[in-house]
Amino acid sequence: MLKIAHLFERICHYAARLAGLLLFVLTFVVLYDIIGRQFFNTGSVALQELEWHIHGAIVMLGFGYAYTRNSHVRIDIVSQSFSDRTKMKLEIVGIVLLLTPFLLVILWYGVDFAHRSFVRGESSSGGLGLDHRWIIKSAVPLSALIALMGAWSVLIRSVAALRGQNVSPYRKEPLWNS
């Protein structure tokens, strides 16, 4: 089972690498937009929409990786005093009863959301924006699937740790070492 967890972590890892590359792309798009607006009076609705889409993709693609590293935003007011075993049990319950169903709903409806956009040939409502709105809408179910893999990786590792295997529920290695 740990091999499956490792496979899921690798997929999350590569999604995070893609998000990292998109961060560089976003930087250049924003720079181009700012320079164009300030010095050449060439503002573009499509360029602004591209910035929003890239930003959204970065956030969505990075969540699965963040979850496998326990580096997502979390408020541990109550659980900080719990033992490690209790925290792992709580994590398992949260993944099984809350996170998995939530992500499955996003995945299910996200596929339909993107498919309808593709079939309709949906583009920006402003008319001057981007065509092919289905591309960014496809990031919704894709990111739900990646986040689901990250959650199941933590689930598998938590169960293994509770069964006495010498494994942490979360990966500790940095992004670029594996």
Total domain count, the chain: 1
Quote the pTM value.
0.85
pLDDT, tens digit, 9 for 90 and up, residues 24-80: 999 999 999 999 988 988 878 888 889 999 999 999 999 999 989 887 777 777 777
Question: Residue 20 half-sphere exposure, CB side, CA atoms within 13 Å?
Answer: 10
Of the two residues 98 and 85, the one the predictor is more confident about is 98
Report d(CA 155, CA 57) in Å as an integer.
Answer: 25
pLDDT, tens digit, 9 for 90 and up, residues 114-136: 999 899 888 877 767 778 888 88
Mean pLDDT of 107-112: 96
C-alpha distances in Å from residue 32, one per residue of 41, 52, 118: 12, 14, 29
Determine the pLDDT at residue 173. Answer: 66
Determine the pLDDT at residue 134. Answer: 86
Determine the pLDDT at residue 24. Answer: 96
pLDDT, tens digit, 9 for 90 and up, residues 135-176: 889 999 999 999 999 999 999 999 999 998 888 777 776 545
Report d(CA 60, CA 52) in Å as an integer.
Answer: 12
The single residue listed with the structure tokens 């963040």 is: 66
Average pLDDT, the chain: 88
Q: Which domain holds residue 19?
A: 2-177
